[in-house]
Amino acid sequence: MFEKDMTVGYLLDFYGEILGERARRITSQYYCDDLSLSEIAESEGISRQGVRQTIKRAEESLRFYEEKLGLAAHFALIREKAEEIGDLAASLSRSDDQASRDAAEKIGVAANAIVSLF
């Protein structure tokens, strides 16, 4: 059985535009739209094996791009650190000092703005 690696859907968000139109469409249908190989084969007018091979090649390309560029990993780290900053700001907002609470609110807003960019 051909098992889905859902990290490929995540990588597709970052590098999908680099793939060819057909590979991007087929891979997106499989990972994002959750269509079966048979459903995709029927809509594309190719064999189920052709769909599988296209997806496998696209997966290899996406992993190659991530290995070389690391954008998805970099994005995940930025998001993690921004959430950590938000948590620290929330902790600081419980301070007895009004200036600390005001600073914590500004830090929290900035951290949330960073997270919302992603």
Same domain? 14 vs 61: yes
Of residues 62 and 99, more confidence is placed in: 62
Q: Which residue range forms the structural domain that includes residue 30?
A: 7-69
- What does the CA dihedral 30, 56, 118, 93 come to, rounded to 10 degrees? 100
| Domain stops at, among 35, 52, 69 | 69
Domain count, the chain: 2
pLDDT at 24: 97
Same domain? 47 vs 85: no
Per-residue DSSP letter, 36 = -
Measured distance CA(75)–CA(118) in Å, rounded: 8
Judged against a pLDDT cut of 70, whether residue 112 lies above it is answered with: yes
Measured distance CA(32)–CA(85) in Å, rounded: 31
Same domain? 93 vs 44: no
User: Does residue 36 belong to any structural domain of this protein?
Assistant: yes
Same domain? 27 vs 77: no
Same domain? 54 vs 85: no
pTM: 0.75
The count of C-alpha atoms lying within 13 angstroms of the C-alpha of 24, restricted to the half-sphere facing its C-beta, is: 10
User: Does residue 105 belong to any structural domain of this protein?
Assistant: yes
Label residue 2 by pLDDT band (50, 70, 90).
low
Q: Which residues contact 104 (CB under 8 A, 6 or more apart)?
A: 89, 90, 91, 92, 93, 95
Instruction: Dump pLDDT digits (tens) for 12-71.
Output: 999 999 999 999 999 999 999 999 999 999 999 999 999 999 999 999 999 999 999 999
